[in-house]
Amino acid sequence: MFKLFKKEKSQNVYSPMNGKYVALENVKDEVFASKMMGDGFAIEPDELKIFAPLNGKVSMVAKTKHAIGITTNDGIELLIHFGLDTVALNGEGMNVLVNEGDEVVRGMQLMEGDANFLKQKQIDVTTMVILMSESKISKRLETDKNVSIDDVIMVCDKK
């Protein structure tokens, strides 16, 4: 009855990198392309610096430095997965600048990659942002556009 007055919590999710925004379905990894891990988007980066796409707390940093989780105060959870097959590098070529439990603000640098090392290893540095929580994506930017860290890519609503 009072659902009319219930306020949905919307959260803008910005690009974590400067580069080309591509649909998750076009990522060259079946796990991400089929959305087995969840829905989201990918960036083919111009440079290998990753920034916080929203405000929140670092909920996870992979031991292999290839992925960072962020959770907002509203419970929206994102996973930022740097590159394809980067888990096999065991952290080589990646420098994480935050720790689990750190508070982050949108635009704060989270990590960076060593472009020369990753190129030598022939690593695809396409970076995925996956919505992990019980939330829904209510809006998305049109894909195949060049974006910066100041561009909103999607809007998530907490269920």
Is 81 among the catalytic positions? yes
| The one catalytic residue among 81, 86, 96, 153 | 81
Rounded Cα distance, 72 and 92, in Å:
29
End-to-end CA distance of the chain: 17
Catalytic residues: 81
